Structures are given as C-alpha cells and as structure tokens.
C-alpha cells in the first residue's frame, strides 16, 4: 500500500522524536475546523459543522440530492440520484438552502461514474462518484470526509450523524437550514427482519427502531458519518432508501461504504485514499 505524503511526514516526525505518542491520523480529512468541541426529527446545523456536505442542484429543480466531498475534485453520492441527465452543480460550504450565493465553493460536474452493478429495483450497489470540473480548495467551511478502509467496522449501536436538506416530514417541505440528526447503527440481521430480507450485504441500516428520527426525500446521496478514534469523521453510509420517513421498525437504509473502498480508489485513480486507523501506532 502506498502511504500518503502527509502520513510519511508524520512518520518521520514521530520516529525522530521519541517523546511524542503518535496515533493514526490523516491530515485534512474528517475534521471540522469551525466546530468547537431535514432530516426528520433533527436540529439546525451550525455553519462549518459538516464541511463535507454538498448540495447537488439542477437548474430546473433546485436541490435534488446530497453528496459528500472526499477529495479536492471528487464527490460520493447515490446512483439513484442521477436518473435525469440535466446539468448538475455542486454547492459546498453552504448552510442556507435558499441562498446559493452563500456557498463557499460552486463547481459543475465534469463526470458521473455510476457503479456498473447498480440495480434501480433493489437499490443494491447504490453509489456514484462525481468528478468536479475543477478542484476545490479546503478551508474552514469545505473539508473532505475520511473514507474508511475495507477492514473498518462500524459497530451496531454506534451513535452517528446523518445530515441534509431533505423534507422535515413525509410529503413535507425541504429544509431551509442544513439539518443534523443522531442515529444508531442497527445490525444487519435485525434490519433484514424488519425489511423482509431486502437488505443486501452492500447496505447498512441506521436510525431509531421506535421511529421519530430519519433521513427523508432530498437527503438521498448525503452522508452518514461516525466519529472514530483520532477524532476523525468517517463516511459510514450514503443515504439510499427506506419505507416512509422516521416510521417505527423502518430505519433508514444506507449504502455501506466499506464495501466500495477498492472501487472508489480504482475509479479515482488513487486520488481518494482510504484511511486505516491502525496505519500509525507508536508508544
């Protein structure tokens, strides 16, 4: 495995200074510079809280889906968002939906790469990569989220966050302010019982079994992120599907990102580097 440049520098610093304890970090991804230590049932997010959140918009429709920034010129979203061939723009660093002028960066989409095995009937392999027309520069409002290695495990019961501008209730209006909500990872077996075995190994369930909190229309393609060791945020899932919104025993179903780590790396020609938590451990 090729070690990213930032990690190489960190290795050198650690090896030459025995007084420091070194941990696995990837400089740049998964950080929230503006954050000091609708989603249905969520709350308004503060500016800079989720700097990898992207709004994908079509000229005719406005906001259609969410996405996550994973590198300076690459986004990850859901394949089902791209049934329409209309031109799409990506807005980054934005909090207020009705004011696109407040976006920290705007880019045209140069290319959309849908997974070749995507099945629109079962929602299996529901993932897409979007190449931006030009790279974006990272700042306190625009940062990439970390892509987990294929060996990474998001444990059942882990509390994570889903974000987006989707409707605030079934058949409701899109959110004006970016929403955030806490959801828990639900085991594959438990979720499959609730969905009659429709949940494939490429899917991940998260939410509250009692209902009340969930992603909804307009959140599709957006991020489900979990805070891991090293205080970095990792992309665990991509908003994919569910029965209704925030219903009891009908949690949200997400594309399981760890199943696509190699695909993402290959399609971006190494521009997106998955991060292994155990890459650097020294006492």
Q: Say which residues have a Cβ less than 8 Å from residue 242's Cβ, sequence separation at least 6.
A: 207, 214, 215, 250, 251, 252, 253
What predicted TM-score, i.e. pTM, was given to this entire model? 0.84
Residue 222 and residue 115: Cα distance in Å, rounded?
Answer: 17
Q: Do domains 53-144+262-267 and 145-258 have the same CATH topology?
A: yes
Which CATH number is 145-258's, of 3.40.50.720, 1.10.3720.10, 3.40.710.10, 2.40.10.10? 2.40.10.10
Q: Which residues are catalytic?
A: 80, 126, 220
Q: 120-158, pLDDT tens digit by residue?
A: 999 999 999 999 999 999 999 999 999 999 999 999 999
What residue ranges do the domains of the chain occupy?
Answer: 53-144+262-267, 145-258
Angle, CA 269 vertex, CA 264 and CA 274 arms, to 5°: 45
pLDDT at 41: 64
| Residue given tokens 């990837």 in the structure block | 26
On the CB side of 248, CA atoms within 13 Å amount to 1
Predicted confidence (pLDDT) per residue in 91-115, tens digit: 999 988 876 677 889 999 999 999 9
Q: pLDDT value at position 37? A: 35
Give the span between the Cα atoms of 71 and 187, in whole angstroms.
30
Which pLDDT does position 211 carry in this prediction? Answer: 67
Per DSSP (E only), the strands in 60-177 are 62-71, 74-77, 88-92, 105-114, 128-132, 159-164
CATH architecture of 53-144+262-267: Beta Barrel (2.40)
CB crowding 49-69: b at 16 or more within 10 Å, else e: bbbbbbbbbeeeeebbbbbbb
Virtual torsion, Cα 260, 210, 241, 156, nearest 10 deg:
10
Ranges of the chain with pLDDT below 50: 1-26, 36-38, 280-283
How many CA atoms lie less than 13 Å away from 174 in the CB half-sphere? 19
Handedness of CA 154, 215, 85, 234 (dihedral sign): negative
């Amino acid at each position: 495995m090729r070690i990213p440049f930032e990690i190489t520098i960190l290795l050198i610093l650690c090896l030459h200074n025995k007084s420091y304890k070194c941990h696995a970090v990837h400089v740049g991804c998964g950080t929230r510079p503006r954050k000091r230590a609708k989603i249905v049932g969520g709350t308004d997010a503060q500016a800079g809280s989720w700097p990898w959140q992207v709004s994908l918009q079509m000229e005719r429709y406005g906001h259609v889906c969410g996405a996550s920034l994973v590198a300076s010129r690459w986004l990850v979203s859901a394949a089902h968002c791209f049934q329409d061939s209309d031109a799409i723009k990506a807005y980054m660093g934005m909090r207020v939906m009705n004011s696109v002028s407040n976006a920290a960066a705007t880019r045209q989409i140069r290319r959309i790469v849908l997974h070749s095995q995507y099945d629109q009937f079962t929602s299996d392999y529901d993932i897409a990569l979007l190449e931006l027309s030009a790279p974006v520069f990272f700042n306190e409002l625009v940062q990439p989220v970390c892509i987990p290695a294929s060996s990474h495990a998001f444990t059942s019961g882990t509390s994570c966050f889903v974000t987006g501008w989707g409707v605030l209730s079934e058949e409701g209006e899109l959110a004006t302010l970016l929403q955030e909500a806490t959801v828990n990872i639900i085991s594959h077996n438990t979720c499959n019982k609730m969905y009659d075995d429709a949940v494939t190994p490429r899917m991940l369930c998260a939410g509250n079994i009692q209902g009340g909190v969930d992603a909804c229309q307009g959140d599709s393609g957006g991020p489900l992120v979990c805070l891991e060791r090293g205080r970095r945020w990792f992309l665990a899932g991509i908003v994919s599907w569910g029965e209704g919104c925030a219903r009891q025993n009908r949690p949200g179903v997400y594309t399981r990102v760890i199943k696509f780590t190699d695909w993402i790396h290959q399609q971006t020609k190494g521009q997106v580097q998955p991060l292994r938590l155990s890459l650097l451990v020294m006492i």
